[in-house]
Amino acid sequence: MTNWVYPLGSATDGVWDISLGTSDSATAIDGWAHTGLKVATVAAGAAVELPAVAEERIVVPLNGAFTVTVDGVNHPLAGRSSVFHGPSDVLYSGTGKAVTISSADGGRVAVATAPARTSYPTRLVLAAETPVELRGAGNCSRQVHNFGTPAALEADRFIVCEVITPAGNWSSYPPHKHDEEKDGETHLEEIYYFETQVAAGSGAPADADAIGYQRVYASDERPIDVSAEVRTGDVVLVPYGWHGPAMAAPGYDLYYLNVMAGPGPVREWLISDDPHHGWVRQSWEGQNIDPRLPFSA
C-alpha cells in the first residue's frame, strides 16, 4: 500500500526538509498527481531556489522573515515568530516562474504547489489582508487563515489555507470527504503539514513532547486507514476517503497547512460529511467560540 504518512526526516531532498508531490520531488507517490509541498530551513543570509516549471506556488513563512524574488522583483514577507502567532505575509508566484527565497536572519518556509496551465499574476497577500475565520464552536473551535482560497486569491488549481486548533480541541470535524465530482462535492487531493507546541499555561515541563493526531478512513471500496500521531514537521496525505478529526491533544496546540487541488473543472472546496457524524454541526448551535481564539502576534 502507498505510504500516506511522512514523519519529519522521511521526505528530505537536498536542501529541502520536505519535498512531496512537486515536479522535482525525489520521493515517488503512486497515484498522487495534483498537489505538492516543500519545506526548507534557510540559514541566515542563505537562499533556496525553484526552477520555472508548469506549477503554481505559494510561499508561506513558518517562522522568520523572507524575501521572494520572482521575475527579478523582490517581494519582502514580514513573516512571524511561529505559526501560532497569527497570519503571515504570503506570496503567490503564478505559473512557470523561477522563484528564489532568501532570508537575512534565517527561518523556515513552506511552498505549496500544484501543476497548472493557466497563468495568473504574482500577488503578495499581506498578513493584514488575510481573511481569518473562526470556525466551529466549543471544543470544535479552530482558526482558519484563508489566504489561498478562491474568495481570497485568483489562482488556477490549488486551494491553500492554514488552521490552528487550541489544545484539547478537534478540527477537520465532522469527518468529511472530497473525492468525487458530483453535486455538492469536488474531487481534491489534500496535504496536511503539521506543527505542534506546548499550550500557554499548560504547566507542561520544558521537554514536553507536543503531539496531535490525524484520522483518515475509507469512504468507498478503496482501502485507506490512517491513525497517525503527528508532531512538528510531519505530513499526512489524503488521496481520498473520510478525513478527520485532526485532534490537538490536551496541553498541546496544533497547526496544519492544507494544500488541496484536483482534476475537476471548478476550483472550489465542496465537501460531503460522513453521514454517521454530520449531525455534530447542529450541536454547535448556541455554543460560543473557544475564548482562546484568535491566536495572534
pLDDT band, residue 174 (cuts 50/70/90): very high
Give the pLDDT of residue 7. 96
Amino acid 297: pLDDT: 77
Instruction: Give the C-alpha separation, 66 to 101, whole Å.
Output: 7
pLDDT digits (tens, 9 = 90+) for 139-161: 999 999 999 999 999 999 999 99
Return the CATH architecture of domain 5-284. Sandwich (2.60)
Asked if pLDDT for residue 1 goes beyond 50, the answer is: no
Q: What is the 3-state secondary structure (H, E, C) of the chain?
A: CCCCEECCCCCCECCECEEECCCCCCECCCCCCCCEEEEEEECCCCEEEECCCCEEEEEEEEEEEEEEEECCEEEEEEEECCCCCCCCCEEEEEECCCEEEECCCCEEEEEEEEECCCCCCCEEECHHHCCEEEECCHHHCEEEEEEECCCCCCCCCCEEEEEEECCCCEECCCCEECCCCECCECCCEEEEEEEEEECCCCCCCCCCCCCEEEEEECCCCCCCEEEEEECCCCEEEECCCEEEEEEECCCEEEEEEEEEECCCCCCCCCCEECCCCCCHHHHCCCCCCCCCCCCCC
What was the pLDDT predicted at 201?
87
What is the rounded average pLDDT of the residues 119-125?
Answer: 95
pLDDT band for position 27 (cuts 50, 70, 90): confident
Of the ranges 2-6, 168-172, 201-205, 218-222, the best mean pLDDT one: 168-172
Triad 117, 119, 122: Cα angle to 5° = 140
For residues 10-33, give the mean pLDDT: 92
List the domain boundaries for the chain: 5-284
2 pLDDT exceeds 90? Answer: no
pLDDT at 259: 98
Q: Give the span between the Cα atoms of 175 and 194, in whole angstroms.
A: 18
What gap in Å lies between CA 17 and CA 58, rounded to an integer? 17
Average pLDDT of the chain, as a whole number: 95
Which grid cell sits at 83?
505559526
- pLDDT single digits (tens) 61-118: 999 999 999 999 999 999 999 999 999 999 999 999 999 999 999 999 999 999 999 9
Q: What percent of the chain has pLDDT over 90?
A: 91
| Predicted pLDDT of residue 31 | 87
User: Smallest Cα–Cα separation from 107: which of 54, 161, 151, 41?
Assistant: 41
What is the value of pTM for the model shown?
0.96
* pLDDT-based confidence at residue 23 (cuts at 50, 70, 90): confident
pLDDT at 26: 86
- Given a cut of 60, is residue 254 above it in pLDDT? yes
